[in-house]
Structure 1
């Protein structure tokens, strides 16, 4: 239903000369509901660093990383590395990797209940204020970034964003 609604609204907006209406409407579709973002923020724990950067990690993200750690019987549980790379349909894209290595010297390290999340120094300012979550849906299960205040627009799948300039 959502793709048909987008197509219909986009056609109507361009016919009436309202390209800005389409831009506003597409942002509302991709940003998500305010209630969902507030619920995720309430369930998240924030880690702050001296430069004023803060990133939150939800309970669902921590629980998923714990489940992945339980599968690996070798000593150290894997850490989640979150990176922002250029590319994607909106300009920048989020990338998530599991790694067992120690963090780099300039990484922002979020630690919660024995689980670690690494964010490199280049990506941290683009993620400051964001919430790292894990979602399970019928069509996919994945880590994701919620409510990134540094994103002006997001793609429809939520894996890429256009930064706020």
Structure 2
């Protein structure tokens, strides 16, 4: 068998492997605001979760929440509850639900729904509930939600 044939066979075998499973935003099941099942089949990465939480174009949690574990954050927010000890106040399923869509737990919350693609309220009756071209993409991916969750679970 030639080297080319071996490589082709290896690539074909890799392509046949199942891709990482992700739950789509519309398929998420909330139970009293909590999401019991992981949104991916990949464990969350707390290091990437911290990066997502401090990136303005992503979670940007530090714009509203203080986190003593992140002392180098400039201008931390103080309009939302501090996240220190959050893993003692909420379990994993509750935190996954809050990060995905806090409004399912806290009615009237101003926290963005990070894992939602439709049903947004927009100014004007002609736009309410409609996205420009179908559903909007979620702010965070399913894996980013799991990564943020992994970081939050370190805050005891």
Normalised-by-shorter TM-score class: under 0.3
User: Structure 1 or 2: larger strand share?
Assistant: 1
Using the size of structure 2 for normalisation, the TM-score is: 0.23
Instruction: Tell me: higher relative CO, structure 1 or 2? Use CA pairs within 8 A at least 6 residues apart.
Output: 2
Using the size of structure 1 for normalisation, the TM-score is: 0.23
